[in-house]
A and B are shown apart, each in its own frame.
Chain A
Amino acid sequence: MPEGFRLLPQQASSIAPRVDALYFYLIIVSVFFTLLIAFSILYFAIKYRRRSESELPHGIEGSMKLEIAWSVIPLVIALSFFFWGASVFFAINRPPNDAIEVSVVGKQWMWKFQHADGQREINELHVPLGRPVKLTMASEDVIHSFYVPAFRVKRDVLPGRVATTWFEATKTGRYHLFCAEYCGTKHSGMIGWLEVMDPVAFQAWLAGGAGSESLASAGSKLFAQHACNTCHRPDSLARGPNLEGLFGKPVTLQDGRTVVADESYIRESIVTPNAKLVAGFQPIMPTFQGLIAEEGLLQLVAYVKSLSKVAPSPRGIVPPVKESAPEREAPK
């Protein structure tokens, strides 16, 4: 990153120009009103300055018309902020379906990353230019927050649940990665770099980490190792819900509520299985809290997700999950 004095951070993601446009709009409105108030005060203060100690101005009761004007006009302007802000907010919270996925674990005081095909990194994340990247994030201890100013993206990473965010990098380079939520002694040391590479270079970089196991396949191993497949199976002997095609679908619970089977729900169902029990099943699953580390949980989540991905994403330079026959066989 170039050194020296700047007023704006670099714009390196698809969302950054949209956030900056809203920022400029707010600045223009704010400068206008600040100057309006400041000049009115200065003008009145000079024009109506006290010229003699006995001076006694006429009282003015007020004006209904003015009161309405300076209530309604700011309200209309505020609503424009609201709608513009909400539309950007929705875009930030809606990852595209064809995003490549990276799992992120925050802990005091480092960021651990694992790419879909298994490549691991610490405090540095390599991503390709021009591809949406979705982060599936969990914390091992306290609350952290994943923040890349150049992308205008921030998301708290909480213990006990899975948080997601996404971005699409639009400029190659190295950008700061910060922890934005105070997390203890070395909070300010929980920083790193986000490296945006052009897709070919990224492909080469990924290949450099050959031999590592994909997220979903590591998850499938854990699935077998913890004997999850004795109950979670598609046939009639199943004592737990069938997980194939489950991800992203609504699930009806014992108490009649419906939840969407997202990353957080799957993680929660492994750690505290009886918190949201699926209708028609007995509360027989033991808890795996403390038995599987946060990274393992994210691998299991990736595995369950892979069971729902029949057709791999069409845009794939990097397929979201390397699917191979034996891996799919293992849990059945």
Chain B
Amino acid sequence: MSPPEAAVTPPEVVAEPRVNYLNASYGLKSWLLTRDHKRIALLYLASVTVFFFLGGLFAVLIRLELMTPAGDLVQAETYNKLFTMHGIVMIFFFLIPSIPAVLGNFLIPMMIGAKDLAFPRLNLLSWYIFVAGGLFTLWAVVHGGVDTGWTFYTPYSTTYSNSYVIATAVGIFITGFSSILTGLNFIVTVHTMRAPGLTWFRLPLFVWSHYATSLIFVLGTPVLAVTILMVGVERLFHLGIFDPKLGGDPILFQHLFWFYSHPAVYIMVLPAMGVVSELVTTFSRKNIFGYKFVAFASVAIAVLGFLVWGHHMFVSGQSVYAGMIFSFLSFLVAIPSAVKVFNWTATMYKGSISYRTPMLYAFGFIGLFTIGGLTGLFLASTGLDVHVHDTYFIVAHFHYIMVGGAIMGYMGGIHYWWPKISGKLYPEAWARFSALVIFIGFNLTFFPQFILGYLGMPRRYHAYPAEFQILNVMSSAGASILGVGYVVPLIYFAWSMRYGKAAPANPWGATGLEWDTPSPPPTENFPVTPIVRTEPYRYSPEEVEVIG
């Protein structure tokens, strides 16, 4: 990206106060009406952080209830609302927007040498839409919550549930438009606003993975919107779409829902993969092994991800042959993920590896994503899925992907770019400590759930047979450790904003255009439009080709 000599230049230290995007203007209005992608990213950061801790609060109550076999802490109705709201808040209001809308928003223009996204007003609008959707859903929570599970399976959601299905669904419907706008903005920006010399194969992999994610945003989210609309229409007007008593088909809902919601998993994990590609190269001081394979793997995952939804329905009554086709395609989508893991590992070979906090998160991501991905193969194996489907095995698997994968990537990314975003350094010792706590707490929480699932404990159970207690207590104990691990960064990041050491423009000695501009960057990102002359991750002036 940057000229080769940039990598060996010692990091400059910016001492004198200067105008940057944070102090360019003051006041609430300057934030709420901003069109600067960096400020909008911070608006998103604040909102998704609120949602993350809200979703986490629901998780705390779930784990407390499951300490004992009897349903004694909360009533069954409350418990059902808790796991539903945990899923909805975490998926739609934290995981899906987290990396794209915060880090993607902040970094994509900077990584391609642009002053902003292609449509700055749409970008601000997408945040308002997100907040409006979130408020709708919060309104439903405050007024009694919803108990359908985040999956809204029909006919329970359309006919039988007595909770605030419509209000919650409207919230998710609205929020979907913010995803579509963000995706559209990214696609147009990457196509039209790259700096001179920045060809497609010179793009950082973070941009590639966000491009792939944006394709899913734009193509998948409308299907979710239509599906939610149909749930609303059936619930309000008793128009038979999904309820067999009205002449509908409940399996149709599952097809439509998973057509979006399986690709949504890749919306969560692809951006994290992009982050990890940046972290592994920076902290190995090496170019990525097999750049084109890693780049095209993102696109392959996005495309294949649209063809595997039926693997959620092996025991639903879908035909046996349809099940086999979806099983086969699900195994195919595992290959590009495996390719990425191998390439990240190979990138470290003969590198210069530093153990800074972001790299610890990258290690955590690769390990946990590997376990999450491999256990996905258990579920893609039709004959085995029959047993583990809808048990805690599934719960463990998708938490390895979403928490072990997506949130590890998010945390790694936030630490890595924090100096750029805030202009301050975070305290390294505390950050390493909390990364370790999160890794240990995560595994303690979710590994026992694989065993629990194979033993046969179904998910979404308020009370359970006594023989499952030991593993549930282990899981709850792990969750308390994990909770500490997430609260500590909240404190030191807030602390560092005021008391942290000023960050140099390039504290990691990284390549990438975002590190060529001061921390925090000026509003226009680059005083002069940069010109790109080399491939990305060019740490060494000479290239060595290795075969074999």
A interface residues with partner B (beta carbon < 8 Å): 1, 3-9, 18-19, 22-23, 26, 29-30, 33-34, 37-38, 40-41, 44-45, 48-51, 54-67, 70-71, 74-75, 78-79, 81-82, 84-93, 108, 141-143, 145, 147, 149-150, 152-156, 158-161, 163, 176, 178-189, 191, 272, 289
Instruction: Provide the B285-296 mask, 1 if CB < 8 A to any CB of A, else 0.
Output: 111011111000
Please determine whether A67 and B293 come into contact, CB atoms closer than 8 angstroms.
Answer: yes
Contact A142 B367 (CB under 8 A): no
Query: What residues of B have a CB within 8 angstroms of the CB of A79 in the complex?
Result: 331
Partner of A40, one of B345, B454, B538: B345
**Interface flag for B449 (CB, 8 Å):** no
Say how far A2's CB is from chain B's closest CB, in angstroms: 9
A-B pairs, top 4 by smallest CB distance, nearest first, are A160-B244, A149-B456, A88-B383, A85-B381
A34, B367: Cβ atoms under 8 Å?
A: yes
Contact of B353 with A22 in the complex, beta carbons under 8 Å? no
Judge whether A62 and B245 touch: CB under 8 Å: no
Name B547's closest neighbour in chain A (CB-CB): A63
Tell me which of B341, B374, B463, B539 contacts A188 (CB under 8 A): B463
Instruction: Name the A residues within 8 Å of B383 (CB-CB).
Output: 18-19, 22, 84-92
Contact (Cβ within 8 A) A149 B387: yes
Cβ-defined partner of B455 (8 Å) among A18, A67, A149: A149
B50-58, B190-198, B464-472: which one contacts chain A?
B464-472
Q: Per a CB cutoff under 8 Å, which of A34, A81, A89, A187 touches B371?
A: A34
The answer to whether B460 touches A187 (Cβ under 8 A) is yes
Q: A50-B353, A141-B160 are in contact. Are A180 and B390 (CB under 8 A)?
A: yes
Residues on A with C-beta less than 8 A from B346 are 60, 62-63, 66
A143 touching B156 by the CB < 8 A rule?
yes
Q: Are B458 and A147 in contact (CB under 8 A)?
A: yes
Contact, CB under 8 Å: B370 / A37: yes
Would you list 23 pairs from A and B whose C-beta atoms are within 8 A, ordered by A residue?
A23-B384, A33-B370, A44-B351, A48-B350, A50-B352, A56-B8, A59-B542, A61-B287, A62-B346, A65-B548, A67-B290, A79-B331, A87-B383, A92-B386, A142-B153, A145-B390, A152-B386, A154-B389, A158-B251, A161-B317, A182-B149, A187-B80, A188-B461
Residue pair A89, B543 in contact (C-beta under 8 Å)? no
B433 interface residue (CB < 8 Å to A): no
B367, A41: Cβ atoms closer than 8 Å: yes
Q: Chain A residues near B324 (CB, 8 Å)? A: 86, 89
Cross-chain contact A60 with B77 (CB below 8 angstroms): no
Any chain A CB within 8 A of the CB of B377? Answer: yes
Residue ID in chain B nearest A92 by CB atoms: B386
Residues of B within 8 A of A82 (CB): 327-328, 331, 380-381
Is B64 among interface residues, defined by CB-CB distance under 8 A?
Answer: no
Contact B380 A8 (CB under 8 A): no
* A41: B residues at CB distance < 8 A: 345, 348, 363, 366-367
Interfacial chain A residues near B287, Cβ < 8 Å:
59-61
Determine if B327 and A58 form an interchain contact, defined as CB atoms under 8 angstroms apart.
no
Q: Decide if B370 touches A84 in the complex (CB within 8 Å).
A: no
Q: Which residue of B lies closest to A148 (CB)?
A: B456
Chain B positions 324-368 with a Cβ under 8 Å from a chain A Cβ: 324, 327-328, 331-332, 334-335, 338-339, 341-343, 345-346, 348-355, 363, 366-367
The residue in A60, A141, A186, A272 that gathers the most chain B C-beta atoms within 10 A of its C-beta is A60
CA distance A226 to B416 in the complex (A): 73
Within 8 Å by CB of A147, from B341, B377, B456, lies B456
Q: B548's contact among A19, A66, A160, A188, by CB below 8 Å, is which?
A: A66
Query: Given A34-B374, A41-B348, A159-B155, is A3 in contact with B467 using a C-beta cutoff of 8 Å?
Result: yes
A93–B320 CB distance below 8 A:
yes
With an 8 A cutoff between CB atoms, is B16 at the interface?
Answer: no
Docked Cα-Cα span, A182 to B389, in Å, equals: 12
CB of B409 within 8 Å of the partner chain: no
Are A145 and B315 also in contact (CB < 8 A) when A152-B387, A180-B391, A182-B149 are?
Answer: yes
- The residue on A at minimum CB distance from B464 is A188
By a CB distance below 8 angstroms, the chain B residues around A26 are 374, 377-378, 381, 384
Shortest distance between the CB of A133 and any CB in chain B (Å): 16
Contacting A at CB under 8 A, from B1-30, are 7-8
* A-side interface mostly: mixed
Q: Quick check: A85 and B327 within 8 Å, CB to CB?
A: yes
Which of these, B80, B151, B159, B291, contacts A185 with CB under 8 Å? B80
- State the interface size on chain B (CB cutoff 8 A): 105
Q: Are A8 and B455 in contact (CB under 8 A)?
A: yes
CB A220 to nearest CB in B, in angstroms, measures: 26
Per the bound structure, the CA–CA distance linking A189 and B76 in Å amounts to 10
Q: Nearest Cβ in chain A — how far from B55, in angstroms?
A: 19
A89–B328 alpha-carbon span in the complex (Å): 13
Task: Check if A89 sits within 8 Å of B8, measured CB to CB.
Answer: no
Min CB–CB distance A289 → chain B (angstroms): 8
**Is B528 interfacial (CB 8 A cutoff)?**
no
Pick the contact of A70: B153, B339, B370, B375 (CB < 8 A): B339
Residues from chain B with Cβ under 8 Å of A23 in the complex: 378, 384, 454
B315 nearest CB across to chain A (Å): 5
User: Which chain B residues (449-497) contact chain A, with CB distance < 8 Å?
Assistant: 451, 454-456, 458-467, 470
Cβ-defined contact, B386 with A183, below 8 A: no
User: Which of B159, B462, B466 has a CB less than 8 Å from the CB of A3?
Assistant: B466
Alpha-carbon distance between A186 and B424 when the two chains are bound, in angstroms: 51
The answer to whether the Cβ of B106 comes within 8 Å of any Cβ in the partner chain is no
B residues less than 8 Å from A1 (CB atoms):
467
Chain B proximity of A20: nearest CB distance (Å): 9
Question: Least Cβ distance of A8 to chain B in Å?
Answer: 7
Question: Which residues of B, 531-548, contact A by the 8 Å Cβ criterion?
Answer: 537-540, 542-548
List, in ascending order, chain B residues with CB within 8 A of A4's CB. Answer: 467
B451 with A7: CB separation less than 8 A? yes
Tell me which residues across on chain A come within 8 A of B391, comparing CB atoms.
149, 180
B382 in the interface, Cβ–Cβ < 8 Å?
A: yes
Residue of A nearest to B368 (CB): A34
CB-defined interface of B139-159 with A at 8 Å, one 1/0 digit per residue?
000000001010101011001
Q: Are B467 and A154 in touch, CB under 8 angstroms?
A: no
- B120 close to chain A: CB less than 8 A: no
Query: Would you call A89 and B544 a contact (CB within 8 A)?
Result: no
Give the distance in Å from the alpha carbon of A189 to the alpha carbon of B69 in the complex.
12
Does B348 lie within 8 Å of A64, measured CB to CB? no
- Check B293 against A185 for contact (C-beta < 8 Å): no
A184 touches B161 (CB 8 A): yes
Alpha-carbon distance A90/B545, docked complex (angstroms)? 48
CB neighbours of B377 from chain A (8 A): 26, 30, 78, 81
* B247 interface residue per 8 A CB criterion: yes
B250 touches A159 (CB 8 A): yes
The answer to whether B335 and A75 have CB atoms under 8 Å apart is yes
B500 on the A face (CB < 8 A): no
Residue in B331, B367, B456, B460 whose beta carbon sits within 8 Å of that of A81 in the complex: B331
Asked, given contacts A152-B386, A176-B456, whether A188 binds B76 with beta carbons under 8 Å apart, the answer is yes
Taking a contact as CB atoms under 8 Å apart, the answer to whether A187 and B462 are in contact is yes
Interface status of B249 (Cβ within 8 A of chain A): yes
The answer, yes or no, to whether B316 is at the interface (CB within 8 Å) is yes
The answer to whether A86 touches B382, judged by C-beta atoms less than 8 angstroms apart, is yes
Cross-chain contact B455 with A30 (CB below 8 angstroms): no
Q: Which residue of B lies closest to A2 (CB)?
A: B467
Say yes or no: B543 contacts A189, CB within 8 Å: no
User: CA of A108 to CA of B147 in the docked complex: distance in angstroms?
Assistant: 15
A183 touches which one: B156, B343, B463 (CB < 8 A)? B156
1/0 contact string of B30-68 vs chain A (CB within 8 Å) = 000000000000000000000000000000000000000
